[in-house]
Amino acid sequence: MRIQAALVESVGGPFTLRDVDIDEPRPDEILVRIRAAGICHTDLGTREVWPRLPMVFGHEGAGVVEAVGSAVTTVAPGDTVCLSYRSCATCDNCTSSRSAYCQAGIHTLNATGTRPDHSTPLSRDGSPVFGSFFGQSSFATHALAYESNCVKIPAGLDPVLAAPLGCGVQTGAGTVLNVLQPAAGSSLVVFGAGSVGLSAVMAAVAEGSSVVAVDPVASRRAMAQDLGAVATLDPEDLDDVATALHEITQGGAHHAIDTTGRSAVISQAIVALRRRGTLALVGIGKTAEFDIMTVMTKGIQLRGVIEGDAVPRTFIPHLIALHEQGRLPVEKLITRYPFSDIEAAARAAASGEVIKPVLTFS
């Protein structure tokens, strides 16, 4: 089947629309016509270093099922779906509602550019095109997904609102609701007010927490306040962010979330916590240096989090319910772009001009 996809054809190169061919679904695969796809910083960061080219990224897809393989039972042609990360569904973690930590690994099922058997469902002029990113590669008019990452949603839900639920919103809101579970009235500091951080702000405000957002971009700080943050800080205007946060939170925050993956920011977050506080590490990074004695003597808990500890088939419907109640106004984060403008949308996201660009498909 001939489709259109946004290919990255060189390391760090632009997204370029090309015609490619996609396989018919295998027994365990689901063919989805994409109606909207969010752009995540994981897509942007990964294309800067991805070695297997050409490649189709995209892991926040939403659309309509067009065909299913013979073994698929959870969705049918015509169903409206939201796509998320892929898991094996059979290991101990998957069967105990911890699929974000699937034993098959986020890398094996989501970030190799191929299916687990090393085949790719995409090709161009007979040559392989790498894909299967997060079990979808949704920067395309059609994608092949799986039961573990294909969640049926209400047909009337705007796909532009649904798409970011599959990763960015799920990660930020899930870190609050599934991991930190802050008590009403407790304090939470969010470092980095992009789509993940602001989703955490929304969820924490909905839970009755007192939220402070730290970000150097004025428009993002303004959005955090609009979403209910009690205060925001520009770290570039302060000599000591942690001291300022201790004053605002009256002795240190109960919880903190780092979405940046930066060592210096993680160190600030640790110091900003009160005794027995918890820091959730959400941002992708390689290494971090911090004062171990501070962590030990204050009894700080460090918690790594993937995908908000969320099981998509149950958590995405929960996020939709929160949105319907007005407690998760995802639409405030979104800027719409036609699929043909994907590179402009990517540049706007990378520069901080927009928070969550979502591609629309005619």
Lowest-confidence segment of 6-15, 106-115, 155-164, 332-341 by average pLDDT: 106-115
- Which sequence spans correspond to the domains of the chain? 2-166+329-360, 172-306
Q: Find out if CATH 1.10.8.60 is the number for domain 172-306.
A: no
Fold classification of 2-166+329-360 is Quinone Oxidoreductase; Chain A, domain 1 (3.90.180)
Nearest-angstrom CA–CA distance, 60 and 313 = 14
Confidence of residue 14 (pLDDT cuts 50, 70, 90): very high
DSSP secondary structure string, 87-156? --SSSHHHHTT-GGG-TT-HHHHHSSSS-TTS--SEEETTEEEB--GGGT--SBSEEEEEGGGEEE--TT
pLDDT in tens, 248-287: 999 999 999 999 999 999 999 999 999 999 999 999 998 9
pTM, two decimal places: 0.97
The predicted pLDDT at position 106 comes to 77
List the 2-8 sheet strands across, edge first: 55-56, 2-8, 15-22, 122-124, 127-129
Nearest-angstrom CA–CA distance, 242 and 253 = 10
The predicted pLDDT at position 260 comes to 97
Burial state string for 263-279 with b = 16 or more CB within 10 A and e = fewer than 16: eebbbbbbbbbbeebbb
CA distances from 141 to 3, 64, 254 (A): 6, 11, 44
pLDDT in tens, 231-240: 999 999 999 9
pLDDT in tens, 24-82: 999 999 999 999 999 999 999 999 999 999 999 999 999 999 999 999 999 999 999 99
DSSP 3-state of 257: strand
pLDDT in tens, 121-135: 999 999 999 999 999
Residue 105 confidence (pLDDT) above 80:
no
Burial state string for 63-76 with b = 16 or more CB within 10 A and e = fewer than 16: bbbebbbeebeebe
The predicted pLDDT at position 67 comes to 98
Residue 188 confidence (pLDDT) above 80:
yes
